[in-house]
Structure formats: C-alpha cells, structure tokens
Amino acid sequence: MNGDAKVRLALVGCGRIARTHVDAIAKVGDLDLVAVCDAVEARAQEMGDAVGVPWYTDYAKMLREVECDAVTVATPSGLHPSHGIAAARAGKHVICEKPMAISLKAADELVHACDDAGVQLFVVKQNRLNPPIQLLKKAIDKGRFGRIYVANTTVWWTRPQEYYRQAPWRGTWEFDGGAILNQASHYVDLMQWLVGPVESVMARTATLAREIEAEDTGIAVLKFRSGALGSIQVTMLTYPKNLEGSITILGEKGSVKIGGTAVNRIETWSFADADPDDQLIEQANTAPLSVYGFGHEGYYRNVLSTLRGSTRPETDGRGGRKSLELILGIYESARTGQEVAFPLK
C-alpha cells in the first residue's frame, strides 16, 4: 500500500479486550478505526457510538460494506480462525488476538487462508514489547547469560466465578480453553520465544474451584532443546486479587526476574559482565493499569510499519502457532499423564 496512506481498520468482537485495541489504535496517528461488530447488539452499539463509527451485528455484512484494509479479530478464541479466514477471503489483512486458534488444524487453516489471499496475518503478542522484556531479549541475544540453565514463568492471577458467568463461552473447550490457553498464553509464548524450542513437556492441570469445563490451575515442566529446564505455574484462584505475572531466567553468567502483575517490573538483574543496558533498568519499569500492559500500541505501530513495507510483523501466524503448539502439548500431557515430545504428531 502507499507509503504514507492511512490504514483503515475494522474490529470484530467488542468484549473485554476490545477497548484496549480501540485505545491503542487511537494513539497511532495513521490508523483509522472505521467500523465495529459484535453479535450482541448492545455491545456493538455501545462501542460504535463511543468511538463514532458505524456498528454491525452481522460480520459478513460489515466485510461487504465497509472499506477497510485490515480487521482486528477480538472475538472468543474458538472463533478466531473462522473470523480471520472470512476477513482474508474478503482481501483484508488480519490482526488476531491470542490465541490464534484452539487447535493446530484451525491455526493452519487460518495461516493458509491468509497466504492464499496474499494478506498479512498478525497474532497479538504484546507482552514481547514490554520494555523489561525487550531488555531481557537483548541480554539473551548478546549471550550475557552464557548457558541458560533454568527458566520459569508464574501467573498467579484471579478470575472469580462471576467472570465466567459474564460470558458463557469462557472456560469452555469449544471457544476458550482454560487458564493456560487463555490467561497465560502470553507467558507460554515468552518461554519459547526467549529460551528457544521446547523438546518435551510433562504437565498436570486441575479445575479446583471454578465451575468451568477447562482448568483453573496448571503446572508444566519443560525440557528445552538446549538442555535447559523450565517450569510454568498458572492459577486463576489467587486470593484476593492478581498477585504476579513473572518470568525468571537463570544462567551461568546471569540471573534476571521480571515480575509485577504483568512482566512489567525488573526485580532482579544481575550479570557477571557490565553492559550499557544495565543503566536502562529503572526507565524500563512500567505500572500498567491492567494485565494487558501497554504493548498493544507498539504492536499496532508494527502493523502500520509492516503494511507500509518498512518492517516485518512482530509475530506472524507461524510465530503465533509455536506457542499454541506448546500449550496443546501441555494439555496432551495433562490428559494422558505422559511426557509429550515436540513437534506434536
């Protein structure tokens, strides 16, 4: 597209995360939100009126009538592939909230549909853009840890029963998945993105307190191809509120923990050798108002730059598929009680 043309976006799904997308789009000067859609008329109208754009309850009609360059898909997870595929077939680029699908088959169908249509597929992994995570990624890429021994991510959050009652699709296998696939998917993504490919996993999940189909709690032990070991600890039962969303990496020459409620604060930063990046720790810390953090704005800036041809997607469909495969391997191990190897068969 033209190097300085504005990019017109439509949004499907006006639920919990939609406002974060709308706010991020508004902060990026050359993005225009031109329409919104939701199956629930009251939600669609409220969002459309709030931002001053046409609203729809019929997604196919919006795709036919609205002149836009891309569609942001923020519907229940199980609907992401079908909504993304419909946008691609209409010639629109696709910006898909996490997870991109709840099965590898559906994820692959979405990737191939975008390939066939010649459109970009962006999978939202905004936590990769958190300033502390960016510093950590640089440290890893520079080899500051030496050999990495252990990695851990902890998601101690709370989602009361009322959260699941508000939307009946939440916590279902058909549309949502559980704590690992939904709430912790960004953290699973960070583990494989930062530390590298996973060789195998063993896991246990449980539904301890919430009246849902999927799990509210899970633990996984990872073996990375590098030989490093990792662990993922997730629960939505923390009392009385979100406590921690963290990642810790321990290596032969360095130890780092990024904590806070959403990997937003550097709590430990210790390396054998000094580096100019060490002076950036304090300014990298943020205090987001929600667990979504501030990364969506940066993500949309990447979308804009990619569509203008000056860069590549931060996370495309194939990148988004990697963390989905790891999550599904965790579920398979929990289901069978066996160690599961990657790639999945």
Of 257, 259, 229, whose CA–CA distance to 150 is shortest?
229
Q: Distance (Å, rounded) from C-alpha 201 to C-alpha 327?
A: 10
What average pLDDT score do residues 299-314 get? 95
Strand ranges across the sheet with 148-156: 265-271, 254-259, 244-251, 148-156, 229-235, 217-224, 198-206, 340-341
Q: Distance (Å, rounded) from C-alpha 214 to C-alpha 232?
A: 17
185-222 pLDDT, tens per residue? 999 999 999 999 999 999 999 999 999 999 999 999 99
Q: To the nearest whole number, what is the mean pLDDT of the chain?
A: 95
**DSSP per-residue string spanning 62-112:** HHHH---SEEEE-S-GGGHHHHHHHHHHTT-EEEEPSSS-SSHHHHHHHHH
68-87 pLDDT, tens per residue? 999 999 999 999 999 999 99
pLDDT recorded at residue 287: 72
102-149 pLDDT, tens per residue? 999 999 999 999 999 999 999 999 999 999 999 999 999 999 999 999
Q: Which two tokens stand for residue 192?
A: 């494989």
Q: How far apart, in Å, do the first and last CA atoms of the chain sit? A: 39
Rounded alpha-carbon distances, angstroms, from residue 194 to 11, 88, 153, 259: 30, 30, 11, 15
Strand ranges across the sheet with 31-37: 55-56, 31-37, 7-12, 70-73, 93-96, 121-123
Q: Distance (Å, rounded) from C-alpha 335 to C-alpha 314?
A: 32
145-149, 184-188, 292-296, 330-334: range with lowest mean pLDDT: 292-296
158-192 pLDDT, tens per residue? 999 999 999 999 999 999 999 999 999 999 999 99
What average pLDDT score do residues 9-22 get? 96
pLDDT at 316 over 90: yes
pLDDT at 4 over 90: no
pLDDT band at 345 (very low <50, low <70, confident <90, very high): confident
**Residue-range domains of the chain with CATH:** 7-123 (3.40.50.720), 129-264+324-341 (3.30.360.10)
pLDDT at 293 over 90: no
Q: Which two tokens stand for residue 298?
A: 């940066």
Q: Distance (Å, rounded) from C-alpha 47 to C-alpha 26?
A: 14
pLDDT recorded at residue 240: 97
pLDDT recorded at residue 295: 83
Q: Distance (Å, rounded) from C-alpha 83 to C-alpha 167?
A: 19
CA gyration radius for the chain? Answer: 20
Q: How many residues are recorded in the chain?
A: 345
pLDDT recorded at residue 286: 78
